[in-house]
Amino acid sequence: MIVRKSLSELEKMRAAGLLVYEVLQVLKGLVKEGVTTQDLEVVAEKLITDAGARPAFKGYESAAAGSKYPYVLCTSVNEEIVHGMPSAKRVLKPGDIVSIDTGVQLQGYYGDSAITVPIGEISAETQKLIDVTRESLELAIEQMRPGNRLFDVCGTVERHVTTNGFTVVREFVGHGIGTQMHEEPQVPNYIDRRNENPRLKEGMVLAIEPMVNAGKPGSRVKADKWTAVTEDGRYSAHFEHTVAVTANGPWVLTRP
């Protein structure tokens, strides 16, 4: 069941979303050569708890992993697609890219967003990968209007990515969001005709999150049961926003 939110509920989600935005902006400013992904984790956890919020990821239980996620951030470096775990041993170096994904619960409502940040000078192809992934999210956001359908959002991501010579990850998808971190519907980054294609209505909120690979679309999960990586070892980028459907068009809750 897709839960539509009232204006007062959207305002609470907006507060959660802006906190996520602020955390990611601080972390973006800290990303540089020599920083570890654990350094980012420490800063993020303090920012979230000091704001009176609860980290959405820490303690999240996954049946597939068979455990609870132990961190407030997912920090996925280079070929890591999603769910990369912060580590004091993972030192960022020039040419790397790091996807930083985090969420919070505030006043009973969730916000969720992700960015991909380069470290130092990166290749032209890697810069294009980041740009195309970000662009595909912005184009998908524009489809979040009453009367459109879910496949308009999904198909927009897929078209932009494949037109530019990249591939979308199929095993991991976006999602509805509200009083639960993951609600209906699933939001693939491609048109999956096995899924329902509901019409978008006011009050629907989706976490749209293109995950885009430089090479083949395949992924595998590492021995830690969490970290997903590209099968061919090539780089992957990830951007995400929490977006509401309103009468006035898309409302991105995770940025000012």
Q: Which residue has the tokens 């021995």?
A: 223
63, 150, 154, 189, 197 from 192: Cα distances, Å: 23, 10, 8, 9, 9
pLDDT in tens, 61-77: 999 999 999 999 999 99
Average pLDDT rounded to a whole number, residues 167-193: 97
Helix (H/G/I), strand (E/B), else coil: 110: strand
Residue listed under structure tokens 């329902």: 196
Tell me the pLDDT band of 251, cut-offs 50, 70 and 90. very high
| pLDDT of res. 45 | 98
**SS percent in the chain: helix, strand, coil, step 5:** 30, 30, 45
Handedness of CA 142, 144, 145, 150 (dihedral sign): positive
At 102 the pLDDT is 98
Q: Which domains does the chain have, with CATH numbers?
A: 7-252 (3.90.230.10)
DSSP state of 149: B
CA distance 14 to 12: 5
Question: Residue 134: CB partners within 8 Å, gap ≥ 6?
Answer: 116, 237, 239
Q: Up-side HSE of residue 48: CA atoms within 13 Å toward CB?
A: 29
Per-residue pLDDT, 198: 97
State the chain's mean pLDDT as an integer. 98
- Model pTM above 0.85: yes
Mean pLDDT, residues 224-228:
97
- Classify burial at 162, counting beta carbons within 10 Å of its beta carbon; exposed 0-12, middle 13-18, buried 19 or more: middle
Residue type, 110: Y
